[in-house]
Chains A and B, each alone.
Chain A
Amino acid sequence: MIHVKMKVNGDPTEFLCDPRETMLDALRDRLNLTGAKEGCGTGDCGACSILLDGNVVCSCLVLAAEGQDREIETVEGMAAGEDLHPLQRKFLEHAALQCGVCTPGILVAAKALLERVPDPTESEIRYWLAGNLCRCTGYDKIVHAVADAAIEMRST
């Protein structure tokens, strides 16, 4: 077993893991953060998206042991207490989720987009989110929600 120390959503965290264990498994099974989902385990669906030192990664493609001394952000860290992140609110207002299983990964990916590109075009939103599969919505309301959140975040 490997001893790993890392920060998750700002909190110092440590755990033991099997060398074969993925970051996704460690988050879900060791730290009980089940917001990130395993849709494929091969980096194709984006449901397990997290931020690793600020970059969007598929946590199913990262080994848990690689987390040593790194900073992780997950969907559980998006809201500030009672205040939802503007993306979370806009997803609800626009009905940008149906089943909701892809939502955590899409929110994390969209947050990273808006941190880099505060005023994204429709194409930029669509290409940035091209690594996140959603089977329910056809992405229509997701793209609208992200664009609307960007407007709100620019004005505050």
Chain B
Amino acid sequence: MALDDLRTKEFRVVGTRPIRPDGIDKVTGRAKFGADVTASGMLHGAILRSPHPHARILSIDVSRAIAEPAVKAVVTRADFAGNLEGEDWNVLENIMAGERALYDGHAIAAVAATSALSARDALKLIDVTYEKLPFVTDVDEAIRPGAPVIREGAADESVPEGLHPNIVRYHENGHGDVEKGFAEADLVIERSFVTEATHQGYIEPHACLAQLGPDGKGELWCCTQGHFAAARICAKLVGIDASQLRVTPSEIGGGFGGKTTVFIEPVALALSRKANRPVKIVMSRSEVFRATGPTSSASMNVKIGMRKNGDITAAEGEFRLQGGAFPNAPMEFAAMCAFAPYDLEHVRSRGWDILCNRPKQAAYRAPGSPMGAFAVESVIDELCNRLKLDPIEVRLRNAVKEGARAAFGPRFQRIGLIETLEQAKAHPHYMAELKPGQGRGVSCGFWFNHSGETSVSLALSYDGTVSLSVGTPDIGGSRASMCQMAAEELGIPYENVRTTIADTGSLGYNDISHGSRVTYASGLATIRAAQDTIRKLCARAAARWEIDEEAVVWEDGHARPAGPNAGEFEPLSLAAIAADMGETGGPIAGHFEITPNGAGVSFATHIVDAEVDRETGAAKVVRYTVVQDAGKAIHPSYVEGQYQGGAVQGIGWALNEEYVYGDDGCLQNAGFLDYRMPVASDLPFIDTVIVEVPNPGHPYGVRGVGETSICPPLAAIANAVSNAADVRMTHLPMSPPRLLKAIQEKELG
């Protein structure tokens, strides 16, 4: 699947900025998101949630609810499959509690009623008897001796003996001899860091409309990043065959990883089966905060040794992440990404996956990487300050390049870290003078990028236009880039292609829109499906001309004889061949199915200027520049949009956003008023520089861009704020009370 050599020529459509094909729907209110559809006879579902962080469910009495005329069905755990294991069981346990409520907000039962208001009223008629249990919500407290055990025997074989039962997975990577490396350093700095849990914060709450009949056949409409995966897991959880559940994805109002799994969909299906009517469930915002995936909170130690010239001699990191009451906090990604930008002789990284009484974490944009980068890049910044070295020069000295061995093992192929650092160094932002009270921070960041199962279909219409079907929901404009790649390859105008996100009944299995994979993997499959179509078009031309198929080439949207020996024929356009395809052999369509293996890793360098008010502890980002390698930007506007969006989510995480738990173990800020995401007036413009170092694993050189943009911001902003306030900030978010306390403690000595 190598970079197509032929593609070194100029692109015609790729790299331009056409209007997105779904644009008019989205600016006129026509686009249908999760909550925007209804069905005849539809009921409304609502979910009863635990008010306790940890409690045994002694009984659930639904008789008063069922007696209500408006209530048509009530479900509890007994209405779901009973034979699940592993992650399937974890998902079920998370969306409907079994023997215990494991966090504040854990689903206990659900009702379907004739209106949303009557469904909500009916929840008050369900009587649950709880036995409250001891709980723990802090990652460090969860592994202290005597901390309540969330689940006995949950640890897998990776965990060394003798650790607290709340440690359920362990990871380590690295090479060399870190002690030897530290001995060679002129300065060694070791620090501890904490990042609080944040939520993906998509503006559209989870919503779905489900219908499941007694015959085991179902239809599901939902906002999801991956409808094929939703079909698989939903079918498992309600005990039907995956192929009997057709899932159609709605337009999706943001996901950032948080809509890669299911929460309400299996519940709506179970209610629908019981009532034998369609059931719609729409989450409230507080339900989104309390019961859908926040990211992990983290506690970390990082130790780095440096020579006076800026060479890093050794690096060591410990990353403890809690992922709620379920395994799979992305501690290994934190441990793998943290040191990835640097070519290190001696490096060791370890990770612990820890259970707490919190909601099950879900992926959030490069899960694990931003926290790890925060810890590592903060220590590097402090080393640079102490050794009076330029932070970009130091990073350039130590940066990985093609052939370097990654801290986590493999050798890098062609990568663009050095290019991002060079561009950052040359950027006017980096040379601009700071005003009094301001500080500047720099950070690098790394993300793997993912490929995944991908299936694409491309069909010609009789008028020569093209219908492209992909199976990856469009979260941020990907229909445009798919149209561009198909048009580029076929040699036809962008407007002649329409991209549809096909339902699960219409295409082969497609992995979720996650891991920054869509433009890479669906793009690759689109290009190959277009090439498959071109082969078929050339065959039709060859038959018409009565020459060999090999004697026909495809250029600028036309079949042409390959050379003078092939004969002299008028070139045939795509439209001309399509016009009589029915008589020349039948419909023409191209397909491609693959799990590609060439998702190129990606790096970014961010520069941030921050201003600190020493009286109030308020920090403000006043200038921000993102420099990131995109491999090849198909639609540069949407690449810039990913850079800007990632940076601003990072600003929220660094400065304000956090899950706040009270002494009662309950979430204290389950709403946008108290969970403070950035608003327009908090921010400057976010400057972007798109670096293009082609990914050899994609025909046009594309690398994923969605996630890397959130890897550097936590560290870059923390470095800027620390330099502005002259106090090293090691706990995120740097909310005003936390920053003010740090400033005052430093002033008091």
Q: Among B20, B202, B285, which residue has its beta carbon within 8 angstroms of that of A41?
A: B285
Give complex CA distance A127, B638 in Å: 25
List which B252-279 residues lie within 8 A (CB) of chain A.
Answer: 252-256
Given A138-B647, A140-B685, verify A100-B638 contact (CB < 8 Å). no
Give complex CA distance A20, B121 in Å: 12
* Cβ–Cβ contact A99 & B28, under 8 A: no
* Cβ–Cβ contact B641 & A141, under 8 A: yes
Given A38-B205, A42-B671, A84-B27, verify A126-B683 contact (CB < 8 Å). yes
* Cβ–Cβ contact B644 & A141, under 8 A: yes
Residue of B nearest to A104 (CB): B29
Q: Among B26, B475, B642, which residue has its beta carbon within 8 angstroms of that of A103?
A: B26
* Cβ–Cβ contact B645 & A98, under 8 A: yes
What 1/0 mask marks residues of chain B from 46 to 86 whose CB sits below 8 Å from any chain A CB? 00000000000000000000000000000000000000000
Q: Does chain B have a CB within 8 A of A64?
A: no
Q: Does chain B have a CB within 8 A of A76?
A: yes
Choose the segment among B189-197, B235-243, B545-553, B672-680 that binds chain A (4+ C-beta atoms closer than 8 Å). Answer: B672-680
CB distance from A156 to the nearest CB of B (A): 19
* Cβ–Cβ contact A42 & B673, under 8 A: yes
Contacts of B256 in A (CB 8 A): 135
Q: Does chain A have a CB within 8 A of B538?
A: no
* Cβ–Cβ contact A130 & B645, under 8 A: no
Give complex CA distance A37, B34 in Å: 10
Q: Among A36, A93, A123, which residue has its beta carbon within 8 angstroms of that of B29?
A: A36
Give complex CA distance A104, B203 in Å: 12
* Cβ–Cβ contact B645 & A45, under 8 A: no
* Cβ–Cβ contact A88 & B27, under 8 A: yes
Q: Among B38, B285, B645, B672, which residue has its beta carbon within 8 angstroms of that of A136?
A: B645
Q: Does chain B have a CB within 8 A of A117?
A: no
Contacts of A79 in B (CB 8 A): 28
Contacts of B30 in A (CB 8 A): 35
Give complex CA distance A139, B146 in Å: 47
Q: Does chain B have a CB within 8 A of A151?
A: no
Q: Interface size for chain A: under 10, 10 to 19, 20 to 34, or 35 or more residues?
A: 35 or more
* Cβ–Cβ contact A135 & B254, under 8 A: yes
Give complex CA distance A137, B686 in Å: 10
* Cβ–Cβ contact A97 & B26, under 8 A: yes
* Cβ–Cβ contact B204 & A99, under 8 A: yes
Give complex CA distance A139, B645 in Å: 8
Give complex CA distance A26, B1 in Å: 53
Q: Does chain B have a CB within 8 A of A8?
A: no
Determine which residue in B17, B116, B255, B685 has the highest number of CB atoms from chain A within 10 A of its CB, and name it. B685
Given A36-B29, A84-B27, A136-B254, verify A99-B202 contact (CB < 8 Å). yes
What 1/0 mask marks residues of chain A from 27 to 60 whose CB sits below 8 Å from any chain B CB? 0110001111111111011010000000000000
* Cβ–Cβ contact B671 & A44, under 8 A: yes
Contacts of B475 in A (CB 8 A): 98-99
Contacts of B476 in A (CB 8 A): 98-99, 136
* Cβ–Cβ contact B204 & A37, under 8 A: yes
Give complex CA distance A24, B219 in Å: 27
* Cβ–Cβ contact B680 & A125, under 8 A: yes
Given A33-B29, A44-B671, A75-B28, verify A95-B477 contact (CB < 8 Å). yes
Q: Does chain B have a CB within 8 A of A112?
A: no
Determine which residue in A35, A92, A140 has the highest number of CB atoms from chain B within 10 A of its CB, and name it. A140
The dominant DSSP class at the B interface is loop
CB distance from A60 to the nearest CB of B (A): 10
Q: Does chain A have a CB within 8 A of B133?
A: no
Given A42-B672, A74-B29, A101-B254, verify A137-B202 contact (CB < 8 Å). no
Q: Does chain A have a CB within 8 A of B35?
A: yes
Q: Among B255, B641, B672, B682, which residue has its beta carbon within 8 angstroms of that of A95?
A: B641
* Cβ–Cβ contact B672 & A45, under 8 A: yes
* Cβ–Cβ contact B253 & A92, under 8 A: no
CB distance from B1 to the nearest CB of A (A): 28
Q: Among A39, A84, A133, which residue has its beta carbon within 8 angstroms of that of B679?
A: A133
Contacts of B678 in A (CB 8 A): 138-139
Q: Does chain A have a CB within 8 A of B681?
A: yes
Contacts of B644 in A (CB 8 A): 137-138, 140-141
CB distance from B707 to the nearest CB of A (A): 14
CB distance from B287 to the nearest CB of A (A): 10
CB distance from B288 to the nearest CB of A (A): 9
CB distance from B254 to the nearest CB of A (A): 5
Q: Does chain B have a CB within 8 A of A7?
A: no
Q: Does chain A have a CB within 8 A of B32?
A: yes
Q: Does chain A have a CB within 8 A of B372?
A: no
Q: Does chain A have a CB within 8 A of B147?
A: no
What 1/0 mask marks residues of chain A from 130 to 156 whose CB sits below 8 Å from any chain B CB? 111111111111110000000000000
Q: Does chain A have a CB within 8 A of B595?
A: no
CB distance from A95 to the nearest CB of B (A): 4
Q: Among A18, A101, A130, which residue has its beta carbon within 8 angstroms of that of B253?
A: A101
* Cβ–Cβ contact B24 & A134, under 8 A: no
Give complex CA distance A136, B38 in Å: 27
Give complex CA distance A136, B645 in Å: 5
CB distance from B408 to the nearest CB of A (A): 30
Q: Does chain A have a CB within 8 A of B33?
A: yes
Contacts of B27 in A (CB 8 A): 75, 78, 84, 88, 91-92, 97, 100, 103-104, 107
* Cβ–Cβ contact A44 & B28, under 8 A: no
* Cβ–Cβ contact A40 & B637, under 8 A: no
* Cβ–Cβ contact A40 & B671, under 8 A: yes
Contacts of B32 in A (CB 8 A): 34
* Cβ–Cβ contact A140 & B686, under 8 A: yes
Contacts of B409 in A (CB 8 A): none
* Cβ–Cβ contact A78 & B686, under 8 A: no
Contacts of A21 in B (CB 8 A): 117
* Cβ–Cβ contact B679 & A98, under 8 A: no
Contacts of A91 in B (CB 8 A): 27
* Cβ–Cβ contact B677 & A141, under 8 A: no
Contacts of B19 in A (CB 8 A): 92-93
* Cβ–Cβ contact A138 & B203, under 8 A: no
* Cβ–Cβ contact B29 & A76, under 8 A: yes
* Cβ–Cβ contact A40 & B672, under 8 A: yes
Contacts of A127 in B (CB 8 A): 680-681
Residue of B nearest to A85 (CB): B27
Give complex CA distance A83, B622 in Å: 38
Give complex CA distance A136, B255 in Å: 9
* Cβ–Cβ contact B29 & A39, under 8 A: no
Contacts of A47 in B (CB 8 A): 203
Q: Does chain B have a CB within 8 A of A5?
A: no
* Cβ–Cβ contact B681 & A126, under 8 A: yes
Q: Does chain A have a CB within 8 A of B402?
A: no
Q: Does chain B have a CB within 8 A of A129?
A: yes
Give complex CA distance A40, B201 in Å: 11
Residues of A at the B interface (CB closer than 8 Å) are: 18, 20-21, 25, 28-29, 33-42, 44-45, 47, 74-76, 78-79, 84, 88, 91-95, 97-104, 107, 123, 125-127, 129-143
6 further A-B pairs in the complex, CB-CB below 8 A; given A99-B204, A135-B254: A92-B20, A95-B635, A99-B253, A100-B22, A138-B649, A138-B686
24 contacts between A and B (CB under 8 A): A18-B117, A20-B117, A34-B35, A35-B28, A39-B205, A40-B285, A88-B24, A92-B19, A94-B637, A95-B638, A98-B476, A98-B638, A98-B641, A99-B202, A99-B475, A101-B33, A101-B203, A135-B677, A136-B645, A137-B644, A137-B645, A141-B637, A142-B680, A143-B685
Please name the 4 residue pairs, one residue from A and one from B, whose CB atoms are nearest each other, closest first. A35-B29, A101-B253, A138-B648, A100-B26
